[in-house]
Amino acid sequence: MRVLAAMSGGVDSSVAAARMVEAGHDVVGVHLALSRMPGTLRTGSRGCCTVEDATDAQRVCARLGIPFYVWDFSERFKEDVVDDFISEYSAGRTPNPCLRCNERIKFAALLEKALALGFDAVCTGHYAKIVTAADGHRELHRAAAWAKDQSYVLGVLTGAQLEHALFPLGDTPSKDLVRAEAARRGLETASKPDSYDICFISDGDTAGWLEDKVGTAPGDIVDRSGEVLGHHEGAHTFTVGQRRGLHIGRPAPDGRPRYVLEVRPVTHEVVVGPHEALAVCEIAGRRQSWAGEPPAEVHSGLDIMVQVRAHGDPVPARVRIVDGETVVTLRDPLMGVAPGQSAVLYLGERVLGQFTIDRSVAADTLSSDGAQLSDQALAS
């Protein structure tokens, strides 16, 4: 099999490529250049896809005896990931750029180019498993190492993409074993720290970076009754669940902390309230994708587990499709769910698919009979 190994320059993709070579596949390593201005990407242990990473990936490929190339995907990355990130925040939503990168770069642009060049599959160092179902179709499942499981950020993959995806680390019980294997193989990345945070925000200051891109848009910080509590310089710098940095001059009447409950980009208002007001009992969205053919029961109602953060815990819920919208009713409320987050649906260990959250129903807006309470009732 001809395999294109996506080499991030980290230990995981290094070992994944090594295993493909050891399995006898015809492997070529490729590193993605995601910026024409390397200084705009994070460096060192806080980085991903930097010049340092490209050099590390090249050294690993030399050690493995496989060809190595750097492909320039900077323009596509800017359009599909960076600009999307700016647009989503400007619209009052909270996106996940790593998930978007998997969706539009690694398993769209990269996979398309790989197939066009005659490769059979793309291999990455993600912690997830591909399982072949009884009908021969491939399914995406959680990794053996739950602490490192990355099936959430791969939840955007379609069934067609899964047919050409390889995740050699999926059955490895721990990251420590991957590092030990890299050391045994003499790979230079064996002790390289993990990367984290957003690669295209070089100093880690997301609010400052967004302000530089979209400017300031002063507005009010209000409570749920509409009373003005303070002011801000840009609603795009806030996200649902945020507690710090609100700069409200006076405490709540009960002395408890306030949290961001809603961001209203049209009116430039940021709505704040008590912690319990963050609880939601239903989430829904129309931008969905399925990791293969979904069970027919999703149209009438199917009990599943749902995860709304990359490092969050899955929670029991019931999903149904209503007029083209994916609606998930939670068994127990979730706290601080923001529009723009991705909700990944699981049936056991299997990823069914995902959707981008467009709306949610706050748990405290429902009366005991399930009816929606009025704004006046909420404020009283």
Mean pLDDT of the chain: 90
Instruction: Write out the two tokens for 197.
Output: 């945070």
Taking only the tens place, the pLDDT of each residue in 302-324 is 999 999 999 899 999 999 999 99
Highest mean pLDDT out of 108-117, 245-254, 371-380 = 108-117
CB under 8 Å to 307, separation ≥6 — which residues?
Answer: 152, 313, 314, 315, 343, 344, 346
Q: Residue 293 has what pLDDT?
A: 87
Distance of CA 45 to the CA centre of its chain: 20
Q: Give the largest CA-CA distance in the chain.
A: 70
Residue 190 vs residue 216, higher pLDDT: 190
Distance of CA 88 to the CA centre of its chain: 13
Q: Is 185 helix (H, G, I), strand (E, B) or coil?
A: coil
Q: Residue 373 has what pLDDT?
A: 45
- Residue 66 pLDDT greater than 90, yes or no: yes
Domain 214-273 in CATH 3.40.440.10: no
Every domain of the chain with CATH number 3.40.50.620 lies at 2-184
- Catalytic residue ranges: 101, 199
**Least confident segment among 1-5, 197-201, 240-244, 251-255:** 197-201
Q: Residue 37 has what pLDDT?
A: 64
- The fold of the 2-184 domain, in CATH, is Rossmann fold (3.40.50)
How far apart CA 291 and CA 156 sit, in angstroms, is: 7
- Residue 3 pLDDT greater than 50, yes or no: yes
Reported in sequence order, the residue ranges of the chain that DSSP labels E, i.e. its strands, are 2-6, 26-33, 68-72, 121-123, 129-132, 138-141, 165-166, 219-222, 228-232, 259-264, 269-273, 279-285, 287-290, 302-307, 315-322, 325-335, 342-347, 350-356, 359-362
Tell me, what DSSP letter sits at residue 87? H
How far apart CA 270 and CA 47 sit, in angstroms, is: 32
CB under 8 Å to 190, separation ≥6 — which residues?
Answer: 11, 179, 182, 183
Where do we find the tokens 């690993």? 60
Confidence of residue 376 (pLDDT cuts 50, 70, 90): very low
Residue 245 vs residue 152, higher pLDDT: 152
Residue 306: name the closest of 274, 351, 262 by CA. Answer: 351
Rg of the chain (C-alpha set): 22
Confidence of residue 374 (pLDDT cuts 50, 70, 90): very low
Q: Residue 196 has what pLDDT?
A: 67
- Residue 65 pLDDT greater than 80, yes or no: yes
- Residue 175 pLDDT greater than 70, yes or no: yes
> What is the β-pairing status of strands 138-141 and 129-132?
antiparallel
Taking only the tens place, the pLDDT of each residue in 245-274 is 898 878 888 889 999 999 998 899 999 999
How far apart CA 297 and CA 303 sit, in angstroms, is: 9
Every domain of the chain with CATH number 2.30.30.280 lies at 214-273
Determine the CATH number of domain 278-379: 2.40.30.10
Instruction: Write out the two tokens for 6.
Output: 């996506």
Mean pLDDT of 56-63: 97
Alpha helices in 26-151 (DSSP H): 51-64, 74-77, 83-90, 97-101, 110-116
**Least confident segment among 208-217, 277-286, 287-296:** 208-217
Q: Residue 46 has what pLDDT?
A: 46
- Residue 47 pLDDT greater than 60, yes or no: no
How far apart CA 278 and CA 334 sit, in angstroms, is: 8
How far apart CA 181 and CA 16 sit, in angstroms, is: 11
- Residue 44 pLDDT greater than 60, yes or no: no
Q: Residue 48 has what pLDDT?
A: 60
Residue 213 vs residue 4, higher pLDDT: 4
Taking only the tens place, the pLDDT of each residue in 333-345 is 999 899 999 999 9
Q: Residue 38 has what pLDDT?
A: 55
Taking only the tens place, the pLDDT of each residue in 346-373 is 999 999 999 999 999 999 875 444 555 4
